[in-house]
Amino acid sequence: MEKISDNLAFGGRQQQWRHQSAALGCAMRFGVYLPPAAAQHKLPWLLWLSGLTCSDENFSHKAGAQRVAAELGIALVMPDTSPRGEEAADDPAYDLGQGAGFYLNATQAPWSRHYRMYDYVTQELPALLRGQFPLNGRVAVAGHSMGGHGALVCALKRPQDYVSVSAFSPICHPVKAPWGRKAFAAYLGDDETRWREWDASLLLAERGSPLPIRVDIGLADPFLAEQLQPDALQKAARESDSRLELHRHAGYDHSYYFVASFIEAQLRFHARHLLA
């Protein structure tokens, strides 16, 4: 563990750390925000998964979440979006390779050597955090775009690990979306039956969810119809009798301006469950 930076923010500490990941076989960075209450006792925490082209820094710099997290007494954890470094496979396109890990475990070469982001964010990183920071066992998960897909999939596959899940502009049905189909073909191979376990809409329809789910979508999002497909997730929630709050916001797009506008609402949604 190497501390890269440490800044005072709303009475708490915004930090960036580096460590060697066994799951990914490379050095990884993550951000953590520890609100003032962390000095007194262990806190519940939110795992935030960012989207395509992002790193561990986008959310901490752009979302404005620290003010509300400090008020509520919730820690924030922000991992990177993929393996990094010269040894990790990459692609010239923005939607594959580094910055585009899709929070799954790749099975195809050359990706399978390093791209095991699902194992990293659901197992290795939480175990590391519990040993290093004043965090308790109550965890929520959230994300944006590709990270919204990741948050939903993590919560649907491992509901025992979380108390709630939310997403901004998630890729809800990746087996039918260009972003998802490209990534899944590369990381998982051509057998589309293997893709199903990484599709939130299919998982929700098949398994349901005991967790409360909140999704925020901007109706001016240029990716809404083709890439995001929230109607598929809503249909799956109805079929499985799951608790989905789907909020559609007129005029908002896919950017971090949208995230910043409604991050307080999402954090307060999670607080009802993390602090119960």
Peptide bond into 110 cis (omega under 30): yes
Q: Check: CB of residue 61 under 8 Å from CB of residue 260.
A: no
Question: Residue 52: CB partners within 8 Å, gap ≥ 6?
Answer: 81, 94, 95, 99, 100, 145, 146, 179
User: Of 80, 95, 216, 221, which residue is the catalytic one?
Assistant: 221
User: Of 145, 164, 166, 169, which residue is the catalytic one?
Assistant: 145
Give CA–CA dist 233/236, Å, rounded.
5
Give CA–CA dist 270/74, Å, rounded.
9
User: Of 114, 149, 254, 270, which residue is the catalytic one?
Assistant: 254
Question: Residue 231: CB partners within 8 Å, gap ≥ 6?
Answer: none
Q: Is 145 a catalytic residue?
A: yes
Q: Is 6 a catalytic residue?
A: no
Give CA–CA dist 203/113, Å, rounded.
26
Any idea how long the chain is? 276
Question: Residue 172: CB partners within 8 Å, gap ≥ 6?
Answer: 148, 149, 152, 200, 201, 215, 228, 229, 230, 232, 233
Catalytic residues: 145, 221, 254
